[in-house]
Structure 1
Amino acid sequence: MAVDETRAWLDLRRAEIVLLPGSPDGAAWALLHGLRSWTTEGRRLALLYQEALAAGAGEGPAADWTRLFRDFWLEVAERFGLAPIDGRLMHVFFESEALYHLSTWSPALEDAALSDTVEHFAHVWLGAPFRPWRGALSQAEDASGTRPHGSAPPAAMRIAKAAAEVVEDKGLAGLTHRAVADRAGVTTGSVTHHFRSIEDLVAGVIRGQVQVLTEEAVANAPPTIDEILTPARLFEALRFHSAGDRPASPAIRRRRLFLASVRRRELAAAGAVIRYSHGGTVRDSLSRVFKLSEGDARLYSGVLSRLLAAIWFACAGDEDPRVTRHALIDRIEAALTARLTRL
């Protein structure tokens, strides 16, 4: 029934975008409008869809749902004079932000950051005209409290990892200061020193887990981040995480943690940390390889990581997902390299 409701919802969106100009700009506006509408007036369906993906992306109703979005964005691409691969890229971007724009942390700032990322995506990958970057994404990253790799205090990180283990075993309902202290082998006072309230503790778990995900990505990528000096080496590492037959474990855990934050309003700030920590592991490499300014590096790495993290989910309903994943990564690499080598 929810899939049928979404089909009707998409019919309304078709009618709403019909007067937009048939150009890459029009496609970008259609994408922005679709994301805003889906995560607000379509929020009930949007949450159901994310729950279906968490239960079994690429299977049963979740696969039908994903194919419905895939076909819609292919149709949109044709309507705006774009190639089918561009429609697939629009679907990938939609799959990312259809989850993360469910955030309720700071609606005005997050909407501005979404506009930044959509305009950047449309310029680099759809051929839309360049528009000066307004800095909303950087503002959101700074305001949400995302931290550079390795910046969490060691004692807090040990406690955060122990708290994550408690959540794995007992769920969020079993997360208490005493349970975390027992797991970490420290006193309850040590836990409350870093995380005073239970809300602070849950937020700390999520902050800590984002740091853990970053460490895992750095440790597992071939080559390591410090070895990346050329575009070819950069995309060798990125493809390793994006083209597998199963989504990378950090991507799954990030999505689950974010959904947990969406379910509890008091965790909205923790959810924002997850949303705006995207791109942390590739930013330094991207800057090193292409000599980017800090602001450009934030925008390029943020949008690139959103695309790569969502590829598996966007292709999960395909007849041959592996072929589509590689075609998308090829397209992402070619467009990004062409754009950055001109800077």
Structure 2
Amino acid sequence: MATAPEDGMKHPRTTNERLIDATLDAWQFGGGATISVRSLCASTNIQVSSLYHHFGSLEQLLVSAQEHAIDAAEAWCTRQIGLLADDAMPPAALGALLAGLIDDWCHDERRLAFAWRECHLNAVKQATFIPLAGRWTKLWSGFWAELCERLGIAGHAITTARFFAGESGFHLVPWNRQIDRAALGETCTGWSAWLCGQVSPPSPWRDRARALAGAGLVLPPLRDDVAERIAATAGAIVERSGVAGLTYRAVAVDAGLTLGVVSHKFRTGADLLAAAFDALYRRAATRTADELADLPAMQPEAVSHELAEMVVGEFAGSLGLDELLLACARNPALRPFGGHLRYLRGRTSGHYLAALLGPAKPTHHIDAAIFSSFLIGVTGVYCFVQDREERIAGAEAEIARVIAALTGG
């Protein structure tokens, strides 16, 4: 371990360190769409030529920043394991431990948490980042393998890593600090119950959050074909360029409409963003109400296959929802959307869960949310697999594993 200089003064940060720090800050506060060579150099007061001298390209700087973040996350994982007693703990201890780790990660290591999310978004768009995304997955798989072994549930390490990946993404979104933390505890307790073959116990804090979040966001009605066209275009822009790229002018250009038409249909920026959110949500939830109603009549294997196809088949709208989730995590003004994403999710996945479990094991909305977090974690692992059938087969196996745990199979 390096020691501080004898005079107690810290060494000045190198150019490399300053640029990496600026990149990590940009991922946390602005998102990947806001990063450019000029913006990073301006924020660090470093010459553009110096960035190219040290890193060769912006892409290599982003790669180096990811490597730095992964190394720091590995150190965090090592510290967390070191804080635990060496003695084995009962499986029931998982819920409280999981909630504490998610909360600490999302608040104490917020910059690293955003770097992880941005790595996955980049990996979908650029093959350069796929190995880095693989390193993140391997890091969390190893971390949960160690913790689950201590809890006597080593066979549930992979599924728990998937749940952690999904739930920690939602916990990045600040909505109501006290309610968020209480609801997180209930959700993680529910996951622990799943691994013991039981559905989640009652969740009064999450019930309260759902009621408040539902009252806090009213999506504007899409009145006609032009409004639908604008909403779909707005969603596509968010998916491609993030919330920062969603402007009236960008929507008008991409939709082939005049600026006046767009501003007439959606009077405020909040209305336009709400329309984009609604379009992205409807794209991601590709099954109609009638199709969902048919699920109970299907065989569990067919339900699992259809669900895997929906989750990792085409990723329709999923990138845009990821962008929106991170935007809500960064911007307090988007708090109503954050509450909606955190507490009103899981309607589609809840139908699939009920069909997979059957009437003998009734579920509640918290179980649907737990399943939603797990499926998002699965998506994050398989979205880089090029072969569609391989993706679907992998997701099916993951779904089968968690359903077996919940049913005691």
Q: Please tell me whether the aligned partners of residues 254 and 274 of structure 1 are also in contact (alpha carbons under 8 angstroms).
A: no
Q: Distance in 2 between matches of 1:34 and 1:310?
A: 16
Q: Distance in 2 between matches of 1:109 and 1:209?
A: 27
Q: Distance in 2 between matches of 1:206 and 1:286?
A: 24
Deviation (angstroms), 1:152: 6.5
1:91 has 2:161 as partner:
yes
After the TM superposition, which of the residue ranges 152-161 and 10-19 deviates more from structure 2? 152-161
- Written as runs of structure 1 = structure 2, the 5 A alignment for 1:143-158 is 143-145=212-214, 153-155=221-223, 158=228
After the TM superposition, which of the residue ranges 268-277 and 181-190 deviates more from structure 2? 181-190
Deviation (angstroms), 1:337: 4.3
- Written as runs of structure 1 = structure 2, the 5 A alignment for 1:121-140 is 121-126=191-196, 132-140=201-209
Equivalent position of 2:181 in the other structure: 111
Match of 1:6 among 73, 78, 83: 73
Q: Distance in 1 between matches of 2:95 and 2:393?
A: 26
Identity across aligned pairs (percent)?
24
Equivalent position of 1:308 in the other structure: 375
Q: Please tell me whether the aligned partners of residues 237 and 246 of structure 2 are also in contact (alpha carbons under 8 angstroms).
A: yes
Equivalent position of 2:328 in the other structure: 261
Q: Please tell me whether the aligned partners of residues 173 and 326 of structure 2 are also in contact (alpha carbons under 8 angstroms).
A: no
The one-letter amino acid paired with 1:251 is: S
Deviation (angstroms), 1:330: 1.4
- Written as runs of structure 1 = structure 2, the 5 A alignment for 1:1-343 is 1-18=68-85, 22-56=89-123, 59-84=130-155, 86-126=156-196, 132-145=201-214, 153-155=221-223, 158=228, 159-167=230-238, 172-173=243-244, 175-177=246-248, 180=251, 183=255, 188=260, 195-214=266-285, 216-218=286-288, 224-230=291-297, 232=300, 233-242=302-311, 244=312, 248-284=315-351, 289-290=358-359, 296-314=363-381, 325-337=395-407
Q: Please tell me whether the aligned partners of residues 146 and 273 of structure 1 are also in contact (alpha carbons under 8 angstroms).
A: no
Structure 1 length as normaliser, TM-score? Answer: 0.79
Deviation (angstroms), 1:94: 0.7
After the TM superposition, which of the residue ranges 282-291 and 54-63 deviates more from structure 2? 282-291
The one-letter amino acid paired with 2:223 is: A
The one-letter amino acid paired with 1:68 is: L
- 1:26 and 1:338, CA in 2 relative to 1: closer, same or farther beyond 3 A? closer
The one-letter amino acid paired with 1:98 is: S
- Give the number of aligned pairs: 325
Show structure 2 runs of 5+ residues with no match. 1-67
Q: Distance in 2 between matches of 1:67 and 1:74?
A: 10
Q: Distance in 2 between matches of 1:277 and 1:184?
A: 33
SS at match of 2:223: helix
Deviation (angstroms), 1:226: 2.4
Deviation (angstroms), 1:213: 2.4
* Cα displacement string for residues 238-285 of structure 1 (whole angstroms, at most 9, x for unaligned residues): 23234x4x6633333321221233233322322332233421114356
Deviation (angstroms), 1:98: 2.0
The one-letter amino acid paired with 1:101 is: H
After the TM superposition, which of the residue ranges 173-182 and 296-305 deviates more from structure 2? 173-182
The one-letter amino acid paired with 2:309 is: F
Q: Distance in 2 between matches of 1:192 and 1:292?
A: 49
Say what the alpha-carbon RMSD is for the aligned residues.
3.7
Q: Distance in 2 between matches of 1:8 and 1:169?
A: 33
State which structure, 1 or 2, has the greater radius of gyration over its C-alpha atoms: 2
The one-letter amino acid paired with 2:122 is: A
SS at match of 2:132: helix
Structure 2 length as normaliser, TM-score? Answer: 0.67
* Cα displacement string for residues 24-59 of structure 1 (whole angstroms, at most 9, x for unaligned residues): 122222211110110000111111111111111672
- 1:165 and 1:44, CA in 2 relative to 1: closer, same or farther beyond 3 A? closer
After the TM superposition, which of the residue ranges 159-168 and 32-41 deviates more from structure 2? 159-168
Deviation (angstroms), 1:209: 2.3
Q: Distance in 1 between matches of 2:351 and 2:384?
A: 34
The one-letter amino acid paired with 1:213 is: A
The one-letter amino acid paired with 2:110 is: R
Deviation (angstroms), 1:316: 7.2
After the TM superposition, which of the residue ranges 249-258 and 30-39 deviates more from structure 2? 249-258
Deviation (angstroms), 1:23: 1.2
After the TM superposition, which of the residue ranges 38-47 and 165-174 deviates more from structure 2? 165-174
Show structure 1 runs of 5+ residues with no match. none
Q: Distance in 2 between matches of 1:169 and 1:326?
A: 28
Deviation (angstroms), 1:323: 7.1
Q: Distance in 1 between matches of 2:188 and 2:394?
A: 22
Q: Distance in 2 between matches of 1:334 and 1:225?
A: 22
- 1:321 and 1:268, CA in 2 relative to 1: closer, same or farther beyond 3 A? same
The one-letter amino acid paired with 1:202 is: L
Deviation (angstroms), 1:304: 1.2
After the TM superposition, which of the residue ranges 248-257 and 113-122 deviates more from structure 2? 248-257
Q: Distance in 1 between matches of 2:196 and 2:383?
A: 23
- 1:202 and 1:20, CA in 2 relative to 1: closer, same or farther beyond 3 A? farther
Q: Distance in 2 between matches of 1:49 and 1:124?
A: 27
Equivalent position of 2:15 in the other structure: none
Q: Please tell me whether the aligned partners of residues 93 and 310 of structure 1 are also in contact (alpha carbons under 8 angstroms).
A: yes
